[in-house]
Amino acid sequence: MSEWYKFESFCELNCEHSLPAYSLLVEFYFYSMLDNGRGASINMASSAIKYVHNSNSISSPTDHPEVKQSTKECQKHWKKNRKRLKRDPFPLEALKIYSSCRPSDTSEFEFLQNIALVANCFRGMMRGGEIVKCTGECITFEDDNSVVVWDLGVTKTDREGCDSRVPIDKGLDNSPTCPITSIKNYEKLYIKKFKHGFKKSKNIFVNEDGSPLKTDDVREIVQQMIRFAGRTEKCGAHSLRSGGATQAAKEGLSLPEIKAIGRWKSECVLRYIHAVVGVGKRLSKLMNL
């Protein structure tokens, strides 16, 4: 339902009601999505708006003839003029370098949060938008804190929330990038700052003032790590998901294992890992080349 939340934010910014929303507002929203390079998400936004309205027994503005026509025009324009930006998988080395030395312009709170967010998102092959929406009820520590379980609820590919649990095990001892160690380090500072732990929190990942992080914030965190490490990859929030899959493939995990961990329903994960599997298996030597 992230597209609905984005529409709500848009309505709030423009001092308009999101429920019920009037047709002209929805048209304006779709054109603004197009202007902001989000034309590929117009279909999902339309579905989200329709779903929420219908769930509340309200006629959806997306059924209005003019909105339908505007939607088609936006999609047609997007398909004709889109420029697919290359997004590289996030490299683990960037996280390692970043965690070894706090940048001078980053507070300790931001520093520990950034490491915890990226380490867990990377290991769990999660989308940036999935982890930042997690509340205190979404995180559970099990087996004497050797496993952290994230419950993502309804996601982009799991509209029923049936496959929402993401268990993550402990990494290397004394490693700041270990998912468990990093989230525990962050929680200690979180408690010191807000006087309560995650369980009583509306949002786990927040700004210094307590406002929740958004997907755009995850993208900036990822790009900050890339810059700090002196690397040239073009990464966004989604690069953590592809980066986790790529790293797992390098370490020899099979396609079914990667699909299970990352909750992929299709073979689209192959576009992330196809270039590294042969190299990881030392295929040239195996082929006697």
pLDDT digits (tens, 9 = 90+) for 92-133: 999 999 999 999 999 999 999 999 999 999 999 999 889 999
The C-alpha angle with vertex 264 and arms to 259 and 267, in degrees rounded to 5, equals 80
Compare 95 and 1 and report the one with higher pLDDT: 95
CB contact at 8 A, 224 and 113: no
- φ/ψ of 62, rounded to 5, equals -70, -15
CA 72 to chain centroid, in Å, comes to: 28
pLDDT of residue 151: 92
CB contact at 8 A, 92 and 243: yes
Q: What is the pTM of this model?
A: 0.71
pLDDT digits (tens, 9 = 90+) for 204-231: 999 999 999 998 899 999 999 999 999 9
Positive or negative, the CA dihedral 55, 20, 128, 144 is negative
Number of H helices, E strands in the chain: 13, 3
pLDDT at 172 over 80: yes
- Average pLDDT of the residues in 183-210: 93
The answer to which of 32-41, 86-95, 144-153, 227-236 has the lowest mean pLDDT is: 32-41
What does the alpha-carbon distance between residue 163 and residue 259 come to, in Å, rounded to a whole number?
12
pLDDT digits (tens, 9 = 90+) for 34-70: 877 788 889 999 999 999 999 999 999 999 998 999 8
